[in-house]
Every structure is written in structure tokens, then in C-alpha cells.
Structure 1
Amino acid sequence: MVSRHIFDFLMGLGILGLISSTVFQGMVFVGAARFLRTRKKAPGPSGFCPPVSLLKPLHGDEPNLEAHLATFFEQDYPHYEILFCARHANDPGLAAARRVAARYPHIPAKFLSTGDRTYINAKVSSLEKMAAAAGTDLFIISDSDVRVDRNYVREVVAPFACEDVGVVTCLYRGEASEGLWSKLEAAGMSIEMTSGVLTANMMEGMKFALGPTMAVRRRCVDEIGGFGRLGPYCSDDFLLGNWVAAHGHKVVLSGHVIDHVVLNLSFEASIKHQIRWMKSTRFSRPKGHFGTALTFAVPFGLLCFLSATHLGIPHLGWLMLAWSIAARMAMAAAVGFWVVRERNLLRTTLLYPLRDLMGFFFWAASYTSSHVVWRGQVYKLAKDGLMLPASDGAPEREPAVTT
């Protein structure tokens, strides 16, 4: 009897999760339709082409780095410069950037280094250095592991024609050419991340930025206290957009979508990266992160299947499990095709139910520890993703994947 009551409860929990995830999926579709209408109305090429500084923080060499950097030198835009910065002048990433820049001598490029005295988040030190050396008042910050089209700068800059726009950011599709785990991570980037952003944009407007592309006015950076204020935080992208929005400026989600290349090819590297990202989100926006549990479908479909089988109604369990899988495939197909223009749509659609299941466990794992590893050092996360030195009792090496 006790056992039946437990499975009755689990069945109810599973049904609740399927209902909530279905509602969320409906919200994603509405948010996607709204995004598509906005993208369709976005202004095309025009005379608004202010000078722009592209800021590219670098850290070591990466697969295909030169090819990725080259896409920023091939922009269909009249006046822009590119600044690169790493911790050390002999960083392999800077060497790669110099080789690429030599092929495009008509594009102004600067190469900088910060030295060893950096913030915990060394990327912020690079941003501070590049901003000081930049010759314009409009910055486009992008990660080293992204590829862009020729109209990237033009489309990202367009919303700044409105003076009340302070930040522009972009959705991105995950790109992975080899390895199951990297392809699953790419599916999460393309579908899970995009779905969450579309819903947030629809519900309350953009109050944050996305790290692969953050365009911002210099005066907005100055208003929040400079890039250096972001130095001790893990989620510099979220906070940059959040703080600029808090000062009364608009954060705009561009209709332009970029490629975010997955660099974590092994199971261990991919899992650790995704759990760290979930932990960062947990501290950056704790209420929203807690509610994320109810947006997953496959974990609740599986729970319904196991409970229904124990209760003697396996056909109902199979139906609920099938619904959860089909629903996630439908969401992956719709978001992948219409929104991010996924290049590997069939693969992403087929893999996404498994990624949805994994995402729930990443979410659960984010509550097992407040420690993260950042550039080989262990830190404890606090409010807003503030990184504090680990306590004396904290582990001195990277925690196991299961933490």
C-alpha cells in the first residue's frame, strides 16, 4: 500500500511536469513567432554605419581559430577596427591573430596583453585594456570560438540607430563536427538556450546579454562603473546587460544568429562545462533557474512511464513517454529551422530529447555544490555569480563530474 501511494505521487509529479513543460513549449512557439516578426521588420542595410571597435579576448590556441578570426576581417562594413588581447604577449592565440591580420592589412588591428595582474575573470581585464585602446565609442565583444557572416557587424550595429539602445546581443547555434558529446552540447546551445531566451524576451524583455556577442556603447560601460566592475563575477555577459538595463537603456535581441563552436569533445570536458554553466545561472538568476526544472519534458515522461508500469497501466506510461519525446523533437525542429537556422537540423532534432533528459540532471547537479573551477582555480560562487576564493576546506583540485 505504501509503495502504491509513492508511485501515485510520482505519477502525479510526472503529469505535472509534462503539463508545465507543454505550457513552456507553447510559450517558446509564441516567443519564436514574435522573434520572427521582429526579425522580418528589422531594418536592412542603411546609411547608419558608425565606426565600431571589435573586441576579441583570447586565451591560447584553439581548433580552427584562424578560420574563425578571419570571418571578422571579412565584414561588409566601412569603418571598423579589431582589437585582440590576451594575458601574455606571446600567447598562441595572439600569434594566430597576427597571422590572420597580416592577410587583411586594410583592416586596422591592435594586439594587447594584460600581464599577470588580472581580475579573477581574466576576460574582463582584456576588455578593460581593449576599451582603453579603442578608437571608437561602440564596442562589439565576441568570444574566440564563434564564426560570423559578412553582414554580422552591419546587423548588430543597426539597432543603435535608436539612442535609447545600450546593448545588442545575438542568439547562436551550436556547431560541432565530431563526437557525440559535443553534438549534444551543441543541441543544447541551439535549442535549450534559444528557447529560454525567446521566452524571457517575450515575458519581460531582454534584461541580459549573451556572451558570444555583446555590443555596447562606451558611455553605457562608463555608467555601470567600467568593465572592471565585472572582474570578480562569473557571468559577465548576464550582468553587463542587466546593469545597463537597470540604468534605463534598452537591451535588444538582434535577429542575426551566429555560430558558436563547441570545443569540448570528450564526455568529461562537456559535462563539466555544462554543469559549471548551470551553476553560474543558478547564482545569476536564482528564481528563474529554480523554475527551469519544470521546463524539461523527457525526465517527467520517463517518470510517468516508470510509475505507470508499476501501477499496472503501462500503455499510459508509454503514451506519456512518447509525448515527451515527440514534443521535444517538435520544439527542436521548429526552433532549429525557423529561429537559429540550424545547419544540422535532422541530427539536432533526433538528439534533443536525450539532451533534454541530460539537461535536467545538469540542473540538479547545479545544487550539489557552489564551487566552480575557473582557469584551473577553485572558487565559491556567491550572489550574482560573484567568485570568492575557495575556503580552506574546499578541494584544491577540480571536483569530480558528479559534484
Structure 2
Amino acid sequence: MTTLLIRDVFLGIAAIPFIYYAIAIFSSLRFFLTTRGEADKTGDFLPALSNLKPVRGLDPEAYENFASFCRQDYPDYEILFCVGDTSDPVFPVLERLVRDFPERKIRIVVGSGRIATNDKVAKLARLVEEASHEHLVISDSDVRVEPDYLRKVIAPLANPETGAVTCFYVPTEESTWVQRLQDVGMVSDFYPGILVAKQLDGVKFALGPTIATTRTRLHAFGGYASIENRPADDLWVGRLIAEQGYEVKLLPYTISTVADFQSLGELFYKRLRWITVMRHMRPWGHLGLIFTLGLPWAIVAVALRPTPRIAASYLGGYLLVRAFLTVMIGSWGLKQRGVWKKLALIPLWDAMATLIWLASFTRKSIRWRGRDYLMRNGELVPLL
């Protein structure tokens, strides 16, 4: 009797991920239905703005990434780069950019002038100081955009109640199966989590590839200097602006990023770094991820009661719901092509995501840009 009771309890727990998937489907449907027209809006709000780009090292296709920002259909903007020193391999690429686009206001700032653990954030603190304009668009070095990008991301700031704007990102191309695996993970796992968080608690975060805001909103919480020793600056910026009472707007608009990994191992450790940071920043939320992992729970259910009905209900239901959620967000919501061709990779991604989640509990440090850091009291501490 006790054994049967324990089995039934675990079968009940194994059904919890389906509740999460139902919330994710509802949240995604509501988001894309209510924001369907916003992806095409630009409006007449076109303030002069500064595009800030901290750079370090030479990313794949760096020149084309940077050049896309020089081809913007926008009346008045400047592009500011901050590089550590002139020996950085990206520096000649930046100099070429200045030569190739003489009509653009491009400035290269050398050195952050600060001593901080998070080099990227230190550079952003310098860039905000150097910016000529109140309105700022902050973007990563691996981002590539369309000519309407600045018009799209700045438009919501016409509303004085909007404090920041962010948006989704998709790969420029997928030349390997590992890159396709990463993409299906974003569409089937990361973005559903983002939309569930928005539905339940509002947008209290930003996504690093693009953040549009103002100097005033940044200064109100102390600016980048106040978070220069912390990881996940994008999350902090969104949270600290939201805490001021302003809306952080998530646009149904996508930009492109160029993959900075080539192997499965590189992808694994990239995701492990991110989720380890999340474990330290949101420990209870991180622990709760166990109830969003449908694949291992479906396997547990079938192992506890290996009958055709249980296999169809749990394992079959898992595959059906995950495929539907992925196609809905990727194909319908984000207008990506060929999403259905990658559906077979979903169980592989979920298996890897489960391993990454388990591995995160064993990690006390992260590796970023070739250096190791210890997480202590929410801050990064360099390891020798």
C-alpha cells in the first residue's frame, strides 16, 4: 500500500511540468496576440541617440555586425565603441569601420578608466559618460541588425512611463547542428520562461543584446558604476529600472546574433555559466526549475508504471506539448523559418538542460572571456 501511494505521489509530481507548459502556452499566446501590431510600429519619435557598444576581442563576422549599425535608417545618431587598448585584435576592425563610413558619427574610446571585475560593465560606465545624447541604445558586439532597428527599439520610449526597451534575438544562420540545438533551446525553453515571467510578474529584466533607455533612468539607480562588479548586467538594468516604477517593454521584434561557439562542449559551458549566475541571483527560482523539466519527469513516470497509457500520457504528451510550444513561439510568434525541421532536437536539448541544471549546483565559479570568477554575495571575485 505504501509503495503504491509513493508511486502515485511521484506520478502526480511528474504531471507538474504540464501545468508549467500550459502557463507557457497561455503566456505566449497572450503576448503575441496583444503585441502583434507593435513589431511594425516606428512612429515619429526620433530623438538623437547614442548607440553604445563595449567590445573585447574579435567576434566571428565582427565587421558585418558593426557595419549593420552604420546602415541605420535614422536621422541623428552616433556610435560609440569602448575597447580595452589598441592592441586588441578588434581595434583595426573599428578603424576600418570609421574609414568605410565617413558619413557616420563613430567614436572609439580606449580604456574604461575604471578598475572593476566586470570589464564590460566598466566600459559601459565610460560610454554613458562619453555619450552625447540622453537616449541610449546598448547592444552587444555579436549583434547584427536591420536598417529599421533604431526606429523600432526607440519608439516605445515616447511613452514617459516606459523606462527601458528590450527584444528577442535569433541566430543569423545555423551552419552546424550544435547551432540548431542552441536555437531550438532558445525558442522551446528560454523564451517560454521569459514570457511566463512576464505574465506572472511583469518584465523586470532586460535581454543583453539590446537595451534602449535613457541616461536619466540609468543615473536614477547609480548607473553602470553601481553594478560594475556584478554579473548579468542586463538583468540588473531591467530590474533596477522596473523598481523605479517604469515599464520595461519587451518588443515582439527580433535582432540577429552570430554564434560565438562551435562545439557542443562550448555551448554546454556557455549555458552552464549563465545558469550558475542565475542560481546565485535567484536561488529559489533556480530550484523551482525542477518542475519545468518535462523530459526527466516523463521518464520517471514511465519507469514507475510502464504501461502504454502512462507512456502515451506522459512521454507522448511531453513530446506533443513541447513541439506545439516551440512551433507557436518560433514560427508563429517570431516568424522564424524551418522551426519544424529542428523539433527532433527538443528532447536532446531538454536532456542537456537537465544536466546543466544539475551541474550548476556543483559550481562555485564561472569562466568568462578566459578568466575564472567566484560568485560571492552577488558579485564577481576574480580567481588567480
Q: 2:200 aligns with which of 198, 203, 207?
A: 203
Shift of 1:149: 1.7
Percent identity (aligned): 29
Residue 180 in 1 paired to residue 174 in 2?
Answer: no
| Candidates 51, 58, 62, aligned match of 1:61 | 58
**1:67–1:14 distance in 2 versus 1, CA, 3 Å:** farther
Residue aligning to 2:326: 332
Runs of 4+ in 1 over 6 A off after TM superposition: none
Q: 1:251 aligns with which of 221, 225, 248?
A: 248
Cα distance 1:55–1:344, how it changes in 2: closer, same or farther (>3 A)? Answer: farther
Are the counterparts in 1 of residues 163 and 241 from structure 2 also a CA contact under 8 Å? yes
Please, what is the CA RMSD of the aligned residues?
Answer: 2.2
- Matches of 2:171 and 2:13, distance apart in 1: 30
SS at match of 1:244: helix
Among candidates 146, 164, 178, match of residue 161 of structure 2? 164
Say yes or no: does 1:30 pair with 2:26: yes
Deviation at 1:308, TM superposition (A): 2.5
Aligned to 2:340: 346
Q: 5 Å matches for 1:2-401?
A: 5=3, 9=6, 12-13=9-10, 15-17=12-14, 19-42=15-38, 44-114=41-111, 118-309=115-306, 313=307, 316-317=310-311, 319-383=313-377, 385-390=378-383
List runs of 5+ in structure 2 lacking aligned partners: none
SS of the residue corresponding to residue 92 of structure 1 reads: coil
Query: How far 1:307 sits from its partner (Å)?
Result: 2.7
Aligned residue pairs total: 383
Q: Secondary structure at the match of 2:28?
A: helix
Letter of the aligned partner of 1:386 in structure 2? E
The alpha-carbon distance between structure 1 residues 125 and 150, as it changes in their structure 2 partners (threshold 3 A), is same
Once the two structures are TM-superposed, the CA of residue 104 in structure 1 deviates from its matched residue by 2.2
Q: CA shift at 1:293, angstroms?
A: 1.7
2:20 partner letter? F
Contact 1:333 1:345 in 2 (8 A): yes
Give unpaired runs (5+ residues) of structure 1.
Answer: 391-395, 397-403
Q: Please name the residue that 1:400 is paired with.
A: none
Q: Take 2:205 and 2:272, find their aligned partners in 1: how far apart are those partners?
A: 20
Question: What is the CA distance between 1:255 and its match in structure 2?
Answer: 2.3
- Confirm or deny: 8 A CA contact 1:8 1:307 kept in the other structure: no
Where does residue 401 of structure 1 map in the other structure?
Answer: none
Cα distance change on mapping 1:101 and 1:302 into 2, 3 Å:
farther
Partner AA of 2:266 in structure 1: A
Q: Report the CA distance between 1:9 and its aligned residue.
A: 4.1
Normalised to the residue count of structure 1, the TM-score between the two structures is: 0.88
In the alignment, the residues of structure 2 paired with residue 132 and residue 334 of structure 1 have an alpha-carbon distance, to the nearest angstrom, of: 42
Question: How high is the TM-score relative to the length of structure 2?
Answer: 0.92
Superposed CA offset, 1:156-213 (max 9, x none): 1011001121111112224552333332122222331211111111111111111111
